[in-house]
Amino acid sequence: MPKEKASSYSVPKLGTFTGPTLDKAVAKLLAAVDAESKHLSQEREWKDFRDRWLSRNNGLLAQVNELWLKAAPKESKREVGQRVNELKKKVDYQIEDIRSRLVSRPSTGEEAGKSESDREMSKPAPDSRALDITLPGIERPLGAEHPVIKTMNEIVSVFRGLGYSVEEGPEIETDYYNFEALNFPPNHPARDTQDTLFIADQDHKPPRERLLLRTHTSPVQIRAMGKTKPPLRIVCPGKVHRNDAPDATHSPIFHQVEGLAVDTNITFSDLKGTLDYAMKTLFGSSVKTRFYPSFFPFTEPSADVQISCIFCNGAGRRDGAACRNCKASGWIELLGCGMVDPNVYSFVDYDATKVSGFAFGMGVERIAILKYGVGDIQMFFQGDVRFLQQFA
Ligand code: DAH
C-alpha cells in the first residue's frame, strides 16, 4: 500500500454550516487523526503529532475554532459549538489512546538512546481502554444542610407558619442602623455590651456613616420599617459578628434570627403567646417559658426568655445529681425580647401614638447546641465532616 503523506490534512473552510456538511467535515478530520497516527512509532513523534493537533497556538483544533466556530453565522453557532466540543473530546481521547498503545508496545532496544523525559513518558500508562464494568461505580456523596443553617431554617419556618415574612440585610452595616436608630445614642454605655468590629480608616466620615460588622440582626428591623408601612411581621435570619475570642461558648461569627411585629393594639401578651408557641414548636410541647426583666435600648419593657431545661425537664436535678445544663436552676436562658421602644418609631416615621409592636432576637447556634447536644460551638465552624454528617 502506498504510504500516505503523514501531514497532508488541513482544516478546510466550510461553505455551509448545515448538519450534513458538519458531519462530513468531522468525519474527515477524525479519519485524518487516525491516518496520521499510523505512522507513529516513537514517543517523540507522538509529541509532534499531539502538538500539531492540540497546540493552543495554531494546532489544527485551534484552527477548527477559528474556521468553523467563529466563522459560523449566528443561527448555527449553537449547533456548531456543540459539534466542535464533541469533536475536541473525541480527538483528545483518540490522541491519548494512541499514546497508551505506543508506550505499551514491547521495548525495541531503543531505550539506551532515550532522554530522561522520554523514559518517564514510556512508563506503561494505565490502559484507558481497560474498563472493568463489574466494578462498583464512583460514589459521589450528596452534601447536606449545615446544622446551623438547618436550625435557622427551622426557626424561620415556625414564624412563616404564623404569617411572618423573611427580610435580610447587609452584614457590613452603618453605625446608624446597627446602633443609633435602635436607640443606642453615640457613646452610650449600652454599646459596650456588643463588642464591635469596626472597619478601619473611616475617621473622615460622620460617626453615623461609619461601617462595622453588624453585631446583631436588629438593624434589619429599622431597614424594614424604613421601607414598609405598618402592619409588619418579619423575621430576619443572618450572620453577625462580635469581637469575642473563640471558646466553647463564644465565636466571633454566629447567627441570629430577629423578629418584629408592628400593628395596632399589639400587647405584651401577644409577644408571650408567640414566643411560647415558637419554643414549644422548636423544643417540644412540654417546654415551658418564663419572661425575666431585662434591658435592651430598643425595647421597653424588655425581657429575657428562659425555657424549662430540656435536659432535666425543669427539675434542676438529673440522675440524682445537679443538672449541669441549667446549673440546677431548671431554666435555660435563650433569647431577648420586648415591646418596641416608641423612640425607635421616630427614626422610621411610624406614629408611636397609633402603633405598637414587639421584637425578639435569638442566637441560632445556641438553639442548635441545645437541640442537638453539641458540646462546643467551635465544632460548627471547623468543617469536620465527621461532625457535620451526623446532621445529614
Ligand atoms: N439584638 C439583641 C442582641 O443581639 C437581641 C434582641 C433582644 C433582639 C431583644 C430584639 C429584642 O429584637 O427585642 O443581643
Q: Atom of ligand 1 at shortest distance to CA of 259?
A: 12
Region of poorest pLDDT, from 134-143, 218-227, 369-378: 134-143
- Give dist(CA 139, CA 230) in Å, integer: 52
Q: What is the mean pLDDT of the chain?
A: 90
| 56 within domain boundaries | yes
Nearest CA to ligand 1 atom 12: 360
**Shared-domain flag, residues 194 and 326:** yes
CATH assignment of the domain containing 251: 3.30.930.10
Going from the Cα of 295 to the center of ligand 1, the distance in angstroms, rounded, reads: 10
Residue nearest to atom 2 of ligand 1 (CA): 361
Q: Specify the higher pLDDT residue, 29 or 301.
A: 301
- In Å, what is the CA distance from 391 to each residue of 23, 144, 301? 51, 8, 38
Q: Work out which ligand 1 atom sits closest to the CA atom of 340.
A: 13
Nearest atom in ligand 1 to 256's CA: 4
Which has the minimum average pLDDT: 106-110, 134-138, 356-360? Answer: 106-110
Domain identity same for 24 and 82 = yes
Tell me whether residue 268 is in a domain. Answer: yes
Mean pLDDT of the region 68-88: 90
Q: What is the mean pLDDT of residues 163-182?
A: 98
> Does 189 share its domain with 101?
no
Q: Is residue 134 part of a domain?
A: no
Same domain for 89 and 153, yes or no, is no
Query: Are 173 and 70 in a shared domain?
Result: no
Residue 178, pLDDT above cutoff 50: yes
Q: Is the pLDDT of residue 58 over 90?
A: no
Q: Within 6 Å (CB) of ligand 1, which residues are found?
A: 216, 218, 258, 296, 299, 336-338, 359-361
Per-residue pLDDT for 44 more than 60?
Answer: yes
Instruction: Place 120 in a pLDDT band, splitting at 50, 70 and 90.
Output: low
Position 1 pLDDT exceeds 50: no
Evaluate if residue 196 carries a pLDDT over 70: yes
Output 257 or 192, whichever has higher pLDDT: 257
Asked whether residue 194 falls in the same domain as residue 332, the answer is: yes
Residues 253 and 161 in one domain: yes
61 and 155 both lie in a single domain: no
- Same domain for 357 and 306, yes or no, is yes
* Together in a domain, 108 and 152: no
Cα(51) to ligand 1 centroid in Å equals 65
Q: Name the domain boundary from 117, 135, 156.
A: 117
8 belongs to a structural domain: yes
Q: Where is the domain boundary, 117, 139, 169?
A: 117
Give a yes or no: residue 326 inside a domain.
yes
User: How remote is the CA of residue 67 from the centroid of ligand 1, in Å?
Assistant: 64
pLDDT at residue 123, rounded to an integer: 56
Same domain, 235 and 333: yes
The CA angle 137-142-143, to the nearest 5 degrees, is: 150
**pLDDT for res 40:** 84
Q: Kindly give the distance from the C-alpha atom of residue 360 to the centroid of ligand 1, in angstroms, as a whole number.
A: 6
Q: Please identify, among 117, 138, 156, the residue that sits at the C-terminal boundary of a domain.
A: 117
Ligand 1 atom with the smallest distance to the CA of 216 is 4
Residue nearest (by alpha carbon) to ligand 1 atom 3: 216
Q: In the predicted model, what is the mean pLDDT of residues 259-273?
A: 98
Question: For the chain, how many structural domains are there in total?
Answer: 2
Structural domain harbouring 76: 3-117
The predicted-structure confidence for 295-347, as pLDDT tens digits, reads as follows 999 999 999 999 999 999 999 999 999 999 999 999 999 999 999 999 999 99
Atom 8 of ligand 1, residue of closest alpha carbon:
361
Q: Which atom of ligand 1 is nearest to the CA of 217?
A: 1
- Report whether pLDDT(69) > 80: yes
Span from the CA of 177 to the centroid of ligand 1 (angstroms)? 14
For residue 140, is it within any domain? no
Phi-psi region of 158 (alpha: psi -120 to 50; beta: other; left: phi over 0): alpha
Whether 255 is in a domain gets the answer yes
Residue 132 lies in a domain: no
User: Under a CB-based contact definition with an 8 Å cutoff, are residues 103 and 51 in contact?
Assistant: no
- Ligand 1 centroid from CA 283, angstroms: 20
Alpha carbon distance 240, 177 (integer Å): 14
Task: Point out the ligand 1 atom lying closest to the alpha carbon of residue 258.
Answer: 12
More confident residue, 104 or 83: 83
210 lies in the same domain as 63: no
